[in-house]
Structure 1
Amino acid sequence: MNDRNAGTGDSVEGRDGRFHRYPVSYRIALLDNDRRALLSLQELVEQHLAPSQVIWTAERGEDAIGRCCDARQTPDLLVVDMSLEGLQGSSVCRRIRAQSTRPAILGITSFSLNWYRQKASVCGMQGLIGKSDDQEIAQAMRVVAAGGALPGFDTAQMAHLRLKNDHSLNLLLTMREEEIISLSAERGMSNQEIGDLLGIADATVRKHMQHIVAKLNANSVRHASAIWLNQAE
């Protein structure tokens, strides 16, 4: 479904015999490690998507995954920033989508859409939008929350069918291991820097690194980083 007009409202026949359109209420969740961005997105929902509501926000991918896998907290739509610290937006989506068709997921970024479009599509998102235009963001939210997908993206149902038997490196590692190898390979952080950022001991980071090297069939941390970066392309 690629109907960009989907989700604008329900048509109900009134007493006058005419059909009247009423806004639909969606449960929306937001994931972004920038608190100011979260506040801006929440204000956007309040201004452009009422009576829809933001039911929760998260700054860490692990927290969002946990809430989306809890039936009591699963939103209709999860809006995910593509560039997070540690566990990236694409990995968050892949882990959620491999398990379920819910929620619908919309990627958002302040960087080049071309840079992230392929990742967003492959990981099972229903669309990708820039952060610069509130009207475009609101319209994309309506389409995706209503069960649709932006052009070039699968619906949640199709993406789930494709990913439910996924055996990629992302799902081979635990969320903590993926967070650590991402910080090491993509940001060049040392074990001590990773430990300080994540609030864990340097020895714990080293232990995780040993597990990562073994799981990726690498012969060193540098080799594991190269394997990780290669599969992320």
Structure 2
Amino acid sequence: MGIDMNINKIRVSLVDNDVIVLRALSVILKRMIPEIEILWCASSGSMALKYFADYHICPEIILVDMSMEDLSGVEVCRVLRRKSDKIKILAMTAFSVTEFASDASDAGVQGIVNKADTAVLRDMIISLHRNNYLAMNYMSIKFKNPFEANQQVLMEGKNIHVDKLTDREIEILNICLKGYTLKEAAKLLHISESTAKTHMRNSISKLGVRNKVQAIAKWGSIYAKKF
């Protein structure tokens, strides 16, 4: 569809664990949207969160790949959304949009796109810049504006019994959040692996999730001190 390019500067940041994709997207977007300004590019979820916290200018739109390695794209989006009710987040994937659309919506993004479809990517960025959120809905999934999405994500934590986590459970969650296994966490804390597993099971129950991976992700996205 035709795009009126008479628009204001659009400040964008990119998050993708493939540095080649980051470079390519930067070049393509600058060519397709002359008014775009790429503030920063991050090749990991943790790097993106650090840049977001440290950079003196906040982007208007952050594009986040769903298939990250250190933190999932969904969790990166959730952390960003908890921190801001103003930034617009656009999820990207090289796989099926349907696979990630629901989780992305729950994480507070404003839309999702297959990053190989650069024409649609361009249109969605411009729609977000114009606050046209209705254009972002996908099938039966509706994406909220940044303020409503922020409220949604903040409400997620209200039924989580984080105050009931013990110091040891928090220690294990923090260690696992850094990429260590439970066996390695047990060794670092000088406890048995079975004891570490018991602490993790308790954490899973208190955080209201189904498994260890979800517990670590939930802790990282909402309560971990490093964020």
Whether 2:100 is the aligned partner of 1:116: answer yes
Q: CA deviation at 1:86?
A: 2.5
Q: State the Cα deviation string for residues 82-117 of structure 1 (Å, max 9, x = none).
A: 010021111111111122113210000001111101
Q: Identical aligned pairs, as a percentage?
A: 21
2: CA distance, partners of 1:67 / 1:213: 33
Alignment match of 1:157 (pick from 125, 147, 157): 147
Q: Does structure 2 retain, via aligned residues, the 8 Å contact 1:125–1:153? A: yes
- Aligned residue identity for 1:105: I
**Residue equivalent to 2:56:** 72
Cα RMSD (Å): 3.8
- Aligned residue identity for 1:225: K
Q: CA deviation at 1:163?
A: 1.8
Whether 2:196 is the aligned partner of 1:216: answer no
Unaligned runs of 5+ in 1: 10-21, 185-189, 196-200
2: CA distance, partners of 1:93 / 1:179: 22
- Aligned residue identity for 1:90: V
Structure 1 ranges of 4+ moved more than 6 A:
181-184
Whether 2:8 is the aligned partner of 1:24: answer yes
1: CA distance, partners of 2:159 / 2:204: 8
TM-score (normalizing by structure 2): 0.70
Q: Does structure 1 retain, via aligned residues, the 8 Å contact 2:59–2:87? A: yes
1: CA distance, partners of 2:59 / 2:37: 10
**Which one has the bigger helix percentage?**
2
1: CA distance, partners of 2:120 / 2:213: 37
Give the 5 Å matches for 1:221-232: 224-225=211-212, 228=215
Q: State the Cα deviation string for residues 196-232 of structure 1 (Å, max 9, x = none).
A: xxxxx9945998x6765553248xxxx8437659x9x
Q: Does structure 1 retain, via aligned residues, the 8 Å contact 2:15–2:64? A: yes
- Aligned residue identity for 1:27: R
Q: Does structure 2 retain, via aligned residues, the 8 Å contact 1:87–1:179? A: no
**Residue equivalent to 1:146:** 130
**Residue equivalent to 2:69:** 85
TM-score (normalizing by structure 1): 0.68
Q: State the Cα deviation string for residues 149-198 of structure 1 (Å, max 9, x = none).
A: 2012111121112222331899x698x948946978xxxxx668xx8xxx
Other structure's SS at 1:216 match: helix
Q: Does structure 1 retain, via aligned residues, the 8 Å contact 2:16–2:65? A: yes
2: CA distance, partners of 1:92 / 1:228: 15
**Residue equivalent to 2:166:** none
Q: 1:216 to 1:118 in 2, by over 3 A?
A: same
Unaligned runs of 5+ in 2: 163-168, 219-227
Larger RCO (alpha carbons 8 Å, 6+ apart): 1
Alignment match of 1:166 (pick from 156, 171, 175): 156
Q: CA deviation at 1:24?
A: 1.9
- Aligned residue identity for 1:127: G
Q: Does structure 1 retain, via aligned residues, the 8 Å contact 2:11–2:37? A: yes
Q: 1:86 to 1:212 in 2, by over 3 A?
A: farther
Q: Does structure 2 retain, via aligned residues, the 8 Å contact 1:99–1:164? A: no
Q: Does structure 1 retain, via aligned residues, the 8 Å contact 2:109–2:143? A: yes
Q: Does structure 1 retain, via aligned residues, the 8 Å contact 2:81–2:150? A: yes
